[in-house]
Amino acid sequence: MGHDDDPPDFSERRLRPDRRSADRIDVVWSVDCETDETFLYASITNISELGIFVRTNQPLQVGTRLTLRFAVPASSESFVLRGQVQWVNPLRVLAENLNPGMGIRFLDLAPEERERIVGIIRTIAYVRDAAKN
């Protein structure tokens, strides 16, 4: 297995224990990812209070800092947040890669932004749990 600084691939991440310190919720939301040189329209497939996974066939390089713009469905306010690419799961042509994209950690999140994200995650989790019962 790779060193902690190495970007993990999907198969390696499945075998490792989950090192995340925050609960993740699966979602499908549109997101704009912008750097000084690049504009990428993609999808968020999960979110936590610490970051997001962006599904894309064109992930940015590890360490890239970017601006994220996304709105939660049925919400009147959108998010405009700073983030940094922490790891990449590249698209592999002719290989099984079910989830190409990049893990992005939020940077400099204001307390009220973190509270909004946590509130949304809790609401989604509650609604999904209620729907199961």
In angstroms, rounded to a whole number, what is the distance separating the alpha carbons of residues 14 and 129?
Answer: 25
**Cα atoms in the 13 Å half-sphere on the side-chain side of 3:** 2
pLDDT value of residue 17: 41
pLDDT value of residue 83: 98
pLDDT value of residue 3: 44
pLDDT value of residue 104: 98
**Cα atoms in the 13 Å half-sphere on the side-chain side of 124:** 19
87 pairs with which residues across the strands? 103
In angstroms, rounded to a whole number, what is the distance separating the alpha carbons of residues 117 and 23?
Answer: 12
pLDDT value of residue 18: 47
Q: What stretches of 1-113 adopt beta strand conformation (E)?
A: 25-34, 39-47, 51-55, 65-71, 78-89, 101-107
Low-confidence ranges of the chain (pLDDT < 70): 1-21
pLDDT value of residue 21: 63
- Specify the CATH architecture of the domain 10-132: Beta Barrel (2.40)
In angstroms, rounded to a whole number, what is the distance separating the alpha carbons of residues 101 and 31?
Answer: 13
pTM recorded for the entire structure: 0.79
